[in-house]
Amino acid sequence: MKRTNPVWISEIDPAPVKEGPLAGLTFAIKDNIDYAGVPTTCACPPSAYTPDQHATVVERLLNAGAVAVGKTNMDQFATGLVGTRTPYGACSSVFNSEYISGGSSSGSAVAVASGQVDFSLGTDTAGSGRVPAGFNGIYGLKPTFDRIPTRGVVPACKTLDCVSIFARTVHVARRVFETFAVPRSASLSRRFGYVDFVGDPANAPLYRAAVDRARLHGWHAVKIDYEPFREVASLLYSGPWVAERHAAVGRWLDHMHPVVKRIIGGATKYSAADAFNARYRLDDLRRRTRAVWEDLGFLLLPTAGWIYKIAEVEANPIELNTNLGYYTNFVNLLDLCALAIPAGLRADGLPFGVTLIAPAGRDFDLLDAAEKLETVEVAVVGAHLAGQPLNRQLTDRGAKLVKTAKTARDYRLFALANTTPPKPGLVREPGFDGPGIEVEVWSMPAAEFGSFVALISAPLGIGTLVLDDGTTAKGFICEPAGLAGAKEITAHGGWRAYLAAKD
């Protein structure tokens, strides 16, 4: 049965549009952020109240010309990274309705990813502005603390909460953020940190590919010791910071979702001495991690190592949620900024994302870096290979060779008839067990991809190719009608080998 995504909690009657830099853009508001005259529920109806004024962030966006559409579903009281802890129904990833959307800003992310709004507001304490971006193939900016005002936002952990921005492109995320911060240019270090991947093995090749793409753009990769960051991450829910959530919303404990009640109710076991000792431990870990920033411009980490089915999370809600915070929970505790970006699809069609992380105040540096990394990987199989007649269509658009690879084994290759210059046609046949076809994977600026596709003529087109390591890339496919008069050359394993054999 296909699950319907319960994105919205309430609608907003459109206000008169104002002139401004965001005129024409629509946005959604996570339902722990106030919009005057519309109830704020935090996904807990008994706690709902109707504010008489907008949150500061909403007021600024409206004054900049943006149009609010509605209030979105969320993990109750912003407690969770899954999107299932809500009485309004669990949101799911736009890529597969059986899988979680991520939370707590679940509805806000899905509203953007499904094209219902241009951008949206979430909040981020432990990763809620990043994990849903990763699970829905969009961008999620968690800015420097207090860069976007939090007046009119129901707190989760008031000392850590940030308002976050979801968008489908870096450009839109930047436009929205510029409503709150003055752009500045800086010299971003050409060195970035990466880690040994921990998570679902299906995601590991996509993380390696993201690190390789950063290297391709001229950045130098430095492997870091992740252990102190991991220890910081564990403090957020396995330490007394959960008591700050109890201080904010503990009066609603008897009305909470069972999992949220279990988490926030557990805060009573911590004492004031525990809070001070945790703070001392955090200060020590902060000193240990500070040295990283003396050598690096940013970290490039997985946004989440795993993505789970809704049924899996409902059966094991605490442990799986904890796994999702492995790469996110430390960011606010260390006063860092972060930007989640898409990083491709797995062979099963599920998305993977990475996050760029930098010290406070480096938000625009991360946006700049993401724009450089906003590329499309294109797998070419014939006349566009390096040294072949049409390769300039790639290089003239700034594309760079990433790697040589093979397709999965269920592809056939044909030498097409009556093509100038000579071209092959690649066709996928499920169940076929061939050698795999050699391809080159090129990284092209996303802004150039459309003009490249416009040059492709029938019977060829662009689809999604599955490579032998389980990753995917955009690549050349052939219409079945184009195989009339074609010669199968699959046994050669690739176009270059076929040309060499002809000679």
**Which residues are the active-site residues?**
30, 104, 128
CB–CB of 397/457 below 8 Å?
Answer: no
* Residue found by looking up tokens 């699970």 in the block: 135
CB–CB of 156/137 below 8 Å?
Answer: no
**Phi/psi of residue 366, nearest 5 degrees:** -65, -40
CB–CB of 16/114 below 8 Å?
Answer: no
- The whole-angstrom separation of Cα 463 and Cα 448 is 17
- The whole-angstrom separation of Cα 76 and Cα 82 is 11
Closest CA to 245 of 105, 456, 458, 42: 42
- Scored b (16 or more CB within 10 A) or e, 404-423 reads ebbbbeebbbbbbeebeebb
One-letter amino acid for residue 223 of the chain: K
The three-point CA angle 286-290-292 to 5° equals 130
Which stretches of 61-102 are assigned E, i.e. beta strand?
Answer: 67-72, 92-93, 96-100
